[in-house]
A and B are shown apart, each in its own frame.
Chain A
């Protein structure tokens, strides 16, 4: 075992490799199936770990609870040749019987099959009536996985790992983009069904979709829930986050740039400004203006952000990304002034100041 690679993927791959090597010694035709089953089993064990349980020690414990790799070969057995011969013989006999059966079925049985039985099966399926839920219809995107609805917080992700379910579409009439169906309040899959919940939290709608495992369907434990949001809502949230990130970045750029003015490094402030700024105002003129207007104000006593706004167009400026912000600033010789600074994102992706006014 490579102890340097202390990840779940690493320990799982290493174990499966050992199992594969062990099974190669018996050459059983179902060896690959066994490996796939063991792989699924391990995935399930990992998925059941709470985020705080995802430790190297627990990964090792899971592997320890599996078989030693050498046992797989012994349990699968190496007498498949004999078995296959038996099966082949049995298969031929069965084939003969089945063929005869099919022939009889085609000739005789249609006359006697009670049509009612066939109808009952359909009827049973129809009994699962469909109730519409317009709020559910649409494309949803998973954002979290929680062990109960109460622990979900829009501002803090609960599940640290990768989410197995990424997207799902609920279509009108009870269909989904996956293999299960829905009716108001319920999801159905094969012989299992589970309740879903739609909740509005802090102005956004969230879908809590249960994850059905054997622990839920067999042992009656409470399910965990995927938390999903409508795709358009997710896109809006992403955009909001991008805007917020841009504003945060722009404020920092503005403050760093204002420090140059505070230190009377006017030439350097021109050098580090956006090209739009430099093209609009020659370096000497900028320095002269600042010497005449800003220097007499004296040192900065305090400077606080009053407002900031992300914009994509400004009068007299090319379209782009701008953050217009105002600072309430107190200088030694002017107790209250308003500085307006406008950083913009330039083509190289870097934010630089494109405008400065003081009033």
Chain B
């Protein structure tokens, strides 16, 4: 089995839910989000990952973006969860918990 390939696919699949969960705690600009997400062990985020996903989430109406001036350089784009995004996140988290519980159940079963 190609473990790296599996990790890559897992990361790509998880990024939507991870980004939405982060935005649940407030608005962030892309660079901050990358820094936060890099702290998640095992996710192994690549720094460019989030930008196409944020663009897609915007298109889907799950996040909105506002541009504001900053003291440290060019204007920054701040991303924020929409009500629709909040609802979608809630469903995604429920689903994720089901999957995790299911996997844990199988793991425990296999151990016994």
Are both chains from one complex? yes
Flag if B48 contacts A180 (CB, 8 Å). Answer: no
From the candidates A66, A73, A87, A189, name the one contacting B71 in the complex (CB within 8 A): A189
A74 interface hit (Cβ, 8 Å): yes
Interface size class of A (residues with CB under 8 A): 35 or more
Contact indicator B73/A30 (Cβ below 8 Å): no
In the complex, B43 has a CB within 8 A of chain A: no
Evaluate whether A67 and B49 lie within 8 angstroms (CB atoms) in the complex, with A34-B55, A80-B59, A87-B60 already known. Answer: yes
Let me know if B54 is at the binding interface, CB within 8 A. yes
**In the docked arrangement, what's the CA distance between A303 and B34, Å?**
65
Pick the interface stretch among A41-49, A103-111, A235-243, A304-312.
Answer: A41-49
A65, A164, A219: most-surrounded residue (chain B CB, <10 A): A65
Q: Is the CB of A33 within 8 A of B55?
A: yes
Given A67-B49, A178-B69; A215-B35 close (CB under 8 Å): yes
**Chain A interface, DSSP helix/strand/loop, else mixed:** helix
How many inter-chain residue pairs (CB < 8 Å) link A and B? 115
Interface residues of A (CB under 8 A from B): 19, 23, 28-31, 33-34, 37-38, 40-41, 43-45, 47, 65-67, 71-77, 80, 83-84, 86-87, 90, 164, 178-180, 187, 189-190, 192, 194, 209-216, 218-219
- Known contacts A37-B54, A41-B31, A41-B34, A72 near B48 by CB under 8 Å: yes
Known pairs A41-B31, A189-B69, A215-B35; A34 contacts B51 (CB<8 A): yes
A41 touches B59 (CB 8 A): no
**5 residue pairs from A and B, CB less than 8 Å apart:** A38-B51, A71-B48, A90-B61, A164-B73, A213-B72
Within 8 A of A (CB), among B12-65: 12, 15, 29-32, 34-36, 46-49, 51-56, 58-61
* Chain B residues, CB < 8 A from A29: 59
Q: Is B70 an interface residue (CB 8 A)?
A: yes
Interchain CB contact under 8 A, A28 and B55: yes
In the bound assembly, the distance between CA atoms of A219 and B69 in angstroms comes to 20
